Amino acid sequence: MIEFLNLRKEYDDVLAVDDLTLTIPQGEIFGLIGPNGAGKTTTIRMAAGLLGPTQGRAVIAGIDVAQKPEQAQQYIGYLSDFFAVYEDLKVWEYLDYFAHAYKLPEAEIPGRITEVVAQVNLEVKRDAMIRGLSRGMKQRLGIARAIIHQPKVMLLDEPASGLDPKARLELRNLLLSLRNRGATILISSHILTELEGFCTSIGIMEKGRMVRSGSIEEVTAAAASARLVRLTWTGDSLAAAEEKLRSDARVSEIKLAAGAGTFRFGGGEEDLAPILAGLISAGVQVTFFGEMKQTVEELYMKLSSHEVM
Amino acid sequence: MPRFWNNPEFVRHRRAELRPVRAITVGVVVLLMCLLIGLACWSYEQNLLANAQRGAETFATDAWRRRAEFLEGHLARNTWLLLYRWLVGLQGIALTFWALFSCAQSVSGERDHKTWDFQRTTRLTATETLIGKLLGEPILIYFAVLCASPVTFIAGLAGGLSFGAVISVFVFFVVLSMFLGLGGMWLSTLLESRTRGVGLIGALALYGFTLAIYGMHDSGLPGLAAMSPLTGIVDLLGFSPDSRLGMALPPLFSRQIPWLLMSVLLCCSFSAWLALMLVRNLKRDYPEIRPLSRWQAVSCAAFLNFLIYALLSPVYQLSIEGKVGWFPDAKSVAVFAVGMNGLILFLMGLATLTPQERLKVWRRRRVTGESNIFADDGLPWPWLGLSAIVAYALMIWGLLAWDHTFPLEMSTLQTSAIRLLLVLVFVTRDVLFLQWCMLTRLRQPIVKGALFLGLYYGAAAVLTGLAAVSSEHGAHTMLALLTPVQVFDPDVHGIAFPAATYVGLALQAGAIGAVLLAITNRLQRPLQRGAAA
């Protein structure tokens, strides 16, 4: 649904995006993470047709955005970190303007406005002037604008940075519901915990290049040299546990203290069961035994500190 | 334009600016103003009549009696005519001023409010956005004029004017406000949000310029005055050419045509160029804006040259001092055309400056043989040369067309060729310098580059002044070396320019080479990764 083919963007003396090739299938929520200046915004702006690429192509729903921008725009909903609205219009007028600008069929527009106004909880403000709305309401109106034409692709550039926690949660739920309807979402964010458990795949950008991309599991698995396993037990079996673990060549970095500890395991997930069985047979009264999954934030910190590049 | 009332951008402006309460207020205020102006006109005419009647009683002469009878007989007609003139004048000034200023804030204002990106991501085409903004931004003043139009119509017809004459007022208003609106919008697209204030000053300057063009009616190109709101208004008010405000009709290919027709022709053709530039660029990101493609720039240069010969007024008078007028012979026309081409080529050069990113891509492709010097993303100099060739061809055509009035000599064509070459070399140097400025990290590189050029010409003037202290010849040499002023030397025949002119030509060719080298060096600089946002 979203395809970047050798996408490149130069500004003055700066290479903002370098030869980016990426395919995001339909229904995916792809999180784009990276530090400031990594090229996330530039990538999203090129996908939205706001910037022309220096080289390469951004293809949305099979349409080259630079070649046929107006045709591609019908599939794109764009949201950025600011929610500027036309203050001198009423809420419904604002949505009506964008519905017409996206060239929705005339007969569908009133119904669609009612629907999105309800989706963003602005029913009571439908006839209110925008200049009288609170900041949070304007933000919700901005979200309504982006989805008025039921886009198949949502491009979100740090959308939550200006939102209060409640609005963030609402945005998250809204995006999940859009995804459930088959929309593909490309989202960039600094707040990595926000992407966790929400994105189906991620891409890490640094200095204009995609350092790593794929499903969160794939990326974390590829980044981790060995699994981190946590273990807790009762009683005085520290020595037995340590001895048993050391007997396996695939185990390393054993850090055990009284009743708890971690170790690295170089084998597969299925190979962990015999390790647990061995510990129990050695008399260790195990109360917890499990792999510690890496968070996106940990992974990102690791990647950006060049530990796994 | 079709179904513009359904254009979302137009509808947005209509909704925002013409809410019922505001619309009613505007309508009432306009009608009240019409009433007050009408009363003032009636009072003025009554005073005139009373004075004439008093004069007739006091002096009891036929002249006073006739005047009093005339004023009494035409009281109503004169009052309506005076009201009509006031209404047309006020509406003309208000409409043109407002159209220009509101459109001059249209795009920069959206950039300022950060709503522009959202508008650019909709399915509105550049043409739809253009029409919506052009008709929507000044909608309040359009509405005010609409409210005043029935009164204007009644006043004009009751004042003895024909229906066609009154309708032509509105045709003129529409054409001129569209032209100025497009000009304002173009100015607005060139401005980043932070330079919005500069844009307003620019719009004010542009409006002042259009008013000042009125003075052109007494020049070698009188038709250009038709682009001034003042010209149209003065003409439409019905003053005869003999009156203080009346003007002789402008020539088009030496045939006199009405001012209104000239206004429509010029405003429509210039509007078409502005619309072309806007449609090309309206949906582009600010750094990617490039007014015209290469071929369009050459065509525009040809159009402007064509206009010179079409609007030329060859009229001269015979007086005791001999022939007087703007163009006594073909040589003076040629010098004028070369001078105008200096300006035209510079403007075309500005319109075709290539953004840094595109120029870098062009250079890479050129190195690999995939592109050439005439490519659209290349340097502008080959196209300036082509524009100059077209200008020269049109000059030959123009001078031959005027051969019956000004006999053309071969030496005039030879001199003009060298003059045009001089102008081309200096303009190419300056345009390439501005192109180099665009490759540097200067903020507002064009403005700063233009200031540097101003400094250069200022320094050249000072050096010439210093040289003039020792000898006149030294001053001439300095001028020939550093500036293209030799173009206007009337004493040159054929290609017999002073040697300093050719030395100056070689010097400037060297300067062009140096700027090209500097540009190449800039383009070869390695790219830094990231940190662009």
Please list every residue in chain A whose beta carbon sits closer than 8 Å to the beta carbon of residue B361. 54-55
Cα within 13 Å of Cα(B99), Cβ side:
24
What is the average pLDDT value for chain A, to the nearest integer?
A: 84
Whether A181 contacts A27, CB under 8 Å: no
Per-residue tokens: B493:
């025949």
pLDDT > 90: percent of chain B: 39
pLDDT tens for each residue of A253-270 = 888 888 888 888 877 777
Asked if B16 lies within 8 A of A88 by C-beta distance, the reply is yes
Kindly tell me if the per-residue pLDDT of A237 is higher than 50. yes
Whether B327 contacts B312, CB under 8 Å: yes
Q: Which of B11, B120, B441 lies at the smallest CB-CB distance from A97?
A: B11
Q: How near does any CA of chain B get to the CA of A100, in Å?
A: 6
- The whole-number average pLDDT for the span B149-161 is 91
pLDDT tens for each residue of A177-229 = 888 888 899 998 766 666 766 788 888 888 888 888 887 777 766 656 667 88
C-alpha A36/C-alpha B147 separation (Å) is 54
- Please give the model's pTM, rounded to 2 decimal places: 0.84
Band (pLDDT 50/70/90 cuts) for residue B477 is confident
Q: Which of A50, A90, A209 lies at the smallest CB-CB distance from B121?
A: A50
- DSSP conformation class of A269: G
pLDDT tens for each residue of A110-138 = 999 999 999 888 889 999 999 998 888 88
Whether B310 contacts B269, CB under 8 Å: no
> CB contact, 8 Å: B117 with chain A?
yes
Nearest to B398 by CA among B338, B323, B326: B338
Whether A98 contacts A145, CB under 8 Å: yes
Q: Which amino acid is at B154?
A: I
C-alpha A95/C-alpha B12 separation (Å) is 11
Asked if B531 lies within 8 A of A37 by C-beta distance, the reply is yes
pLDDT tens for each residue of B68-124 = 888 888 888 889 999 999 999 899 889 989 999 899 888 888 888 889 999 999 999
Whether B155 contacts B87, CB under 8 Å: yes
Band (pLDDT 50/70/90 cuts) for residue A292 is confident
C-alpha B168/C-alpha B421 separation (Å) is 45
C-alpha B168/C-alpha B299 separation (Å) is 31
Nearest CA in chain B to A49: B121
C-alpha B261/C-alpha B259 separation (Å) is 5
C-alpha B282/C-alpha B179 separation (Å) is 17
SS3 B410: helix
Q: How near does any CA of chain B get to the CA of A159, in Å?
A: 14
Residue A30 parent element (H or E): strand A29-33
Per-residue tokens: B382:
């080959």
- DSSP conformation class of B314: -
Kindly tell me if the per-residue pLDDT of B157 is higher than 80. yes
Please list every residue in chain A whose beta carbon sits closer than 8 Å to the beta carbon of residue B11. 97, 100
Q: Which amino acid is at A119?
A: Q
ipTM of the assembly? Answer: 0.84
Taken in order B451, B452, B457, B463, the sign of the CA dihedral is: positive
Nearest to A212 by CA among A294, A90, A99, A109: A294
pLDDT tens for each residue of B166-207 = 888 888 888 989 999 999 999 888 877 555 677 778 888 888
Nearest to B100 by CA among B210, B237, B242: B210
pLDDT tens for each residue of B260-271 = 888 899 999 999
Bridge partners of A272, per DSSP, are none
C-alpha B443/C-alpha B451 separation (Å) is 13
Distance of alpha carbon B406 from its chain centroid, rounded?
29
Nearest to A275 by CA among A233, A234, A246: A246
Which pLDDT does position A309 carry in this prediction? 39
Bridge partners of A206, per DSSP, are A209
C-alpha B20/C-alpha B7 separation (Å) is 20
pLDDT tens for each residue of B126-141 = 999 999 999 999 999 9
Residue B209 CB contacts under 8 Å (≥ 6 apart), including other chains:
none
Bridge partners of A60, per DSSP, are A2, A63
Nearest to A96 by CA among B180, B8, B433: B8
Nearest CA in chain A to B442: A12
pLDDT tens for each residue of B356-398 = 888 988 988 888 888 888 888 889 999 999 999 999 999 999 8
- H helical segments located in B289-444: 294-311, 330-351, 356-367, 381-401, 410-439
Which pLDDT does position B249 carry in this prediction? 82
pLDDT > 70: percent of chain B: 93
Whether B100 contacts B206, CB under 8 Å: yes
Would you mind telling me the total number of residues written for chain B in this entry? 533
Residue B41 or residue A272, greater confidence: B41
Asked if A70 lies within 8 A of B124 by C-beta distance, the reply is yes
Q: How near does any CA of chain A get to the CA of B381, in Å?
A: 21
C-alpha A95/C-alpha A110 separation (Å) is 10
Please list every residue in chain A whose beta carbon sits closer than 8 Å to the beta carbon of residue B16. 86, 88-89, 93
C-alpha A280/C-alpha A262 separation (Å) is 16
Q: How near does any CA of chain A get to the CA of B391, in Å?
A: 34
Band (pLDDT 50/70/90 cuts) for residue B531 is low
Residue B368 CB contacts under 8 Å (≥ 6 apart), including other chains:
none
C-alpha B482/C-alpha B429 separation (Å) is 12
Residue A205 or residue B239, greater confidence: A205
Q: Which of A239-253, A295-309, B59-73, B272-286 has the highest mean pLDDT?
A: B272-286
Which pLDDT does position B1 carry in this prediction? 55
Please list every residue in chain B whose beta carbon sits closer than 8 Å to the beta carbon of residue A92. none
C-alpha B142/C-alpha B130 separation (Å) is 17
Domains annotated for chain A, with CATH where assigned, are 2-221 (3.40.50.300), 226-292 (3.30.70.100)
Angle of the B196-212 helix axis to the B163-189 helix axis, nearest 10:
140
Asked if B529 lies within 8 A of A14 by C-beta distance, the reply is yes
Whether B108 contacts B196, CB under 8 Å: yes
Give the least confident one: A132-141, A156-165, B409-418. A156-165
Band (pLDDT 50/70/90 cuts) for residue A308 is very low
Rounded to 5 degrees, what are φ and ψ at A210? -85, 110
Which pLDDT does position B328 carry in this prediction? 76
- DSSP conformation class of B375: S
Number of CB pairs, chain A paired with chain B, less than 8 A apart = 120
Tell me how many degrees the CA angle B147-B148-B149 measures, rounded to the nearest 5: 95
Which pLDDT does position A223 carry in this prediction? 59
Asked if A51 lies within 8 A of B285 by C-beta distance, the reply is yes
pLDDT > 70: percent of chain A: 89
SS3 A101: helix
Distance of alpha carbon A241 from its chain centroid, rounded?
40
Whether B188 contacts B116, CB under 8 Å: no
C-alpha B533/C-alpha A103 separation (Å) is 32
SS3 B157: helix
Bridge partners of A4, per DSSP, are A22, A58
> CB contact, 8 Å: B118 with chain A?
yes
Q: Which of A16, A73, A86 lies at the smallest CB-CB distance from B532?
A: A16
Please list every residue in chain A whose beta carbon sits closer than 8 Å to the beta carbon of residue B12. 86, 89, 93, 97
Which pLDDT does position B2 carry in this prediction? 55
Q: Which of A11, A74, A88 lies at the smallest CB-CB distance from B357?
A: A11
Whether A226 contacts A265, CB under 8 Å: yes
Q: How near does any CA of chain A get to the CA of B526, in Å?
A: 7
Residue B229 parent element (H or E): helix B229-236
Which pLDDT does position B519 carry in this prediction? 93
C-alpha A70/C-alpha A149 separation (Å) is 13
What is the average pLDDT value for chain B, to the nearest integer?
A: 86
- H helical segments located in chain A: 40-47, 69-73, 91-101, 109-119, 135-147, 165-180, 192-195, 216-223, 238-246, 272-281, 296-304
- The whole-number average pLDDT for the span A52-77 is 90
Give the least confident one: A251-255, A302-306, B93-97, B209-213. A302-306
CB atoms within 10 A of CB A273: 10
Band (pLDDT 50/70/90 cuts) for residue B468 is confident
Q: Which residue reads 């006109």 in tokens? A: B41
Whether B126 contacts B279, CB under 8 Å: yes
C-alpha B451/C-alpha B444 separation (Å) is 11
Whether A251 contacts A261, CB under 8 Å: no
Per-residue tokens: A295:
């968070």
State how beta strands A14-24 and A2-11 pair: antiparallel
Q: Which amino acid is at B487?
A: V
Tell me how many degrees the CA angle A98-A100-A104 measures, rounded to the nearest 5: 110
Q: Which amino acid is at A306?
A: H
Q: Which residue reads 């053309």 in tokens? A: B408
Q: Which of A11, A39, A73 lies at the smallest CB-CB distance from B122?
A: A73
Tell me how many degrees the CA angle A240-A245-A248 measures, rounded to the nearest 5: 135
SS3 A196: coil
Q: Which of A103-117, A228-242, B69-83, B214-228 has the highest mean pLDDT?
A: A103-117
Per-residue tokens: B392:
């020269």
Q: Which of B9, B16, B532 lies at the smallest CB-CB distance from A14?
A: B532
